[in-house]
Amino acid sequence: MAKPVYVRSLRKEDLSAIVDVEDRTTGVARRAYWEKRIEISEAIRPHWASLVAEVDNRVVGFVLGRTGELEFGLPGTVAWIEIIGVDPAYRRQGIAAKLIETFISSAEDHGIQTVFTLVNKSDTEMEGFFTRLGFTEGKMIHFQKDLKG
């Protein structure tokens, strides 16, 4: 039977666990980046939009998001899911689904009616995940211009 999953707001002390999940997922550990990112989440972003999931008192997953008001010509407030990650050893146990359900339920509690995220077209894993959770392709067009750098 799957172990209980506890979802709560992100805290400074979660830094190492998050760096670890990223390292085990991508092979890159961006400690300084995450330090700054957690600071921003705590200081200027709604606390409900940055969450971690614990199993056996250990952080095994996270979702970081934000809200945007009247952005891109859209009416009202949109909640953005910016990054989500689950420790590879704990995947396919419903942990990310629980993180997103908690995120959505808090967004609803704050009167938000739309949740946005961006998924790379070649990322079938993410596409499968968000489709399963009821996300559909949106009406905005993603434009980009590549620069010489």
Ligand X SMILES: CC(C)(COP(=O)(O)OP(=O)(O)OC[C@H]1O[C@@H](n2cnc3c(N)ncnc32)[C@H](O)[C@@H]1OP(=O)(O)O)[C@@H](O)C(=O)NCCC(=O)NCCS
Beta carbon of residue 32, minimum distance to ligand X (angstroms, whole number): 16
Cβ 48 to ligand X, closest distance in Å?
Answer: 19
* Residues within the interface to ligand X (CB under 6 A): 21-22, 25-26, 83-86, 91-97, 125-126, 128-129, 132
Sheet of strand 50-55: strand arrangement: 6-9, 50-55, 58-69, 77-86, 114-116
**Nearer to ligand X among residue 79 and residue 95 (C-beta):** 95
Whichever of 52 and 86 has its CB closer to ligand X, that residue is 86
7, 38, 47, 88, 122 from 128: Cα distances, Å: 22, 28, 27, 16, 11
| 85 exposure class (CB count in 10 Å sphere: 0-12, 13-18, 19+) | buried
What letter would DSSP give residue 24? H
- Cα(66)–Cα(50) distance, rounded to whole angstroms? 8
For ligand X, the closer of residues 48 and 135 by Cβ is 135
Of the pair 36, 76, the CB lying nearest ligand X is at 36
Question: DSSP class of residue 117?
Answer: -
Nearest distance in Å: CB 72, ligand X: 23
Residue whose CB is less far from ligand X, 5 or 79: 5
Nearest CA among 70, 132, 51 for reference residue 97: 132
Q: How far is the CB of 53 from ligand X (least distance, A)?
A: 8
Q: In whole angstroms, how close is the CB of 137 to ligand X at the nearest point?
A: 16
